[in-house]
Amino acid sequence: MIIAIDATSGEYAPYETVKGAIKAAQEYEVDITLVGNKTMLHVLCSRYRNKLDINIIEASEVIGPHESPVKAIRNKPNSPIVVGTRLVKEKLADAFVSAGNTGAVLAAALFNLGKIKGVDRPAICSLLGITTAEPVLLIDAGANADCRPSHLVQFARLGAIYCQRIIGISTPRIGLLSNGEEETKGSQLVKETHHLLKTTNLNFIGNIEGQDIPTRKADVIVTDGFTGNIVLKTIEGMGDTFVNSLRQVGHVFSNAYRLQGRALLQDLGLAKRVDYREYGGACLLGINGTVIITHGRSQAKAIKNAIGLAQQTAAQGITQLIKEETNE
C-alpha cells in the first residue's frame, strides 16, 4: 500500500514529517511517497532510501495555513496538497496525509477526487483521544459551517461506518451534540436533526452535552462543522493548558524533592492522553479516496500515527463502504 505524504505543510515540516514517515515505513506495511521539495527531501531521506521504499515527488509550491483555499489550489497546482490528492485520483497512492491548510486539503480533495455519489456534504471526522483508550469520533469537525438536518443525519451515517471499521465498535452509540440532553433542547437545526435521527436504524442515544465528550458517553458525536471545529479547538486549548500545567507540576516536584517528577508524569501518560500531537488525525469522509488531515503542529509521532490511520482507512475500504451505504 502506498501512502502519499505532504512533506511541506505543518509547523514542523519537513524534518518531523520525514521522520514520522520513515518511522511509519519501518513500523507499518506501507510504501511512502513524499511530496514536496525534491532536493531537500533527497537530502533528508538519503540515509534511509536504500533500506526503505521511499519515493519522492516534486511539488515545490507552498500553500500557507491562512491562504484562501479555492484560490490557493487554483494558483498553486504544483503544491503537495494538489499533487498529493491527484496521486490518489490517479491510483498512484492509496491515501494522502497532510498537516496543511484544512480548507485547501478539502478543496483539493473535492476538486481532484470529487464527492461520493449520494453524499451531499463531505465531512471531517476527527478522532478525539482524551481520557479513554479508544478515541471518540467527532463529525463534522470543520468542513461545513452551515448545515441542514439531513446533512447531520448523513454525518451520523458516515461516522457510524468509520467507527465500526476503524475503532471496531459494531453498533456505535451516536450522540447529537446539543445544549441540553432533553430532545426539546437545542437550536432549530438540532431539534429537527434529533427528530430525523430517531427514525433511522442507527444506534442513536439522543442529545449529549459538552461535558459528555471526554467521558465517552457516545462513540460518534454528530454536530455541524462550525460547532465541531470550535469544540475541537477548545479541547486542544484546554489540553495545552493541561500539559503546560503538568510540566509545571513536574518541575516543581523535581526542584522540591529532587525527583524525576517529569519522568514519572510521563509514565502516567496523562499528558499524552490530551495531547493532540499523539492523535492519529482526522479523515475526510464522503470523498472518492482516502485523505487524512493531521494537526498543523504535528510532530513525527503524530505523522506516523496519521499514516497508520491512512493505511487502516484505505485497507478497510471505507470509501467503498460509504458508496454502498449511500447508493442503497
Residues that bind its own copies (CB under 8 A): 66, 68, 130-131, 142, 145-146, 177-182, 184-188, 190, 209-215, 224-227, 229-242, 245-246, 248-249, 252-253, 256-257, 259, 264-265, 268, 270, 273-274
Spatial neighbors of 307 by CB under 8 A, at least 6 apart, are 3, 5, 20, 21, 24, 28, 30, 32, 97, 292
> From the CB of 265, what's the least distance to its own copies, in Å?
7
> From the CB of 234, what's the least distance to its own copies, in Å?
4
Q: Is 259 helix (H, G, I), strand (E, B) or coil?
A: coil
Say if CB 214 and CB 137 are below 8 A apart. no
Taking the least distance from each CB to its own copies, the nearer of 180 and 317 is 180
Taking the least distance from each CB to its own copies, the nearer of 16 and 224 is 224
What 8-state DSSP symbol labels residue 65? T
Q: Which of these, 289, 279, 272, 267, lies nearest to 20 by C-alpha position?
A: 279
Say if CB 83 and CB 34 are below 8 A apart. no
CA 106-147-314 angle, to 5 degrees, is 40
Cβ neighbours, 10 Å, residue 241? 11
Taking the least distance from each CB to its own copies, the nearer of 2 and 282 is 282
> From the CB of 211, what's the least distance to its own copies, in Å?
3
Taking the least distance from each CB to its own copies, the nearer of 114 and 206 is 206
Taking the least distance from each CB to its own copies, the nearer of 178 and 299 is 178
> From the CB of 229, what's the least distance to its own copies, in Å?
4
Q: What are φ and ψ of residue 130, in 5° steps?
A: -100, -70
> From the CB of 307, what's the least distance to its own copies, in Å?
25
Spatial neighbors of 209 by CB under 8 A, at least 6 apart, are 177, 178, 179, 180, 181
Taking the least distance from each CB to its own copies, the nearer of 215 and 320 is 215
> From the CB of 170, what's the least distance to its own copies, in Å?
26
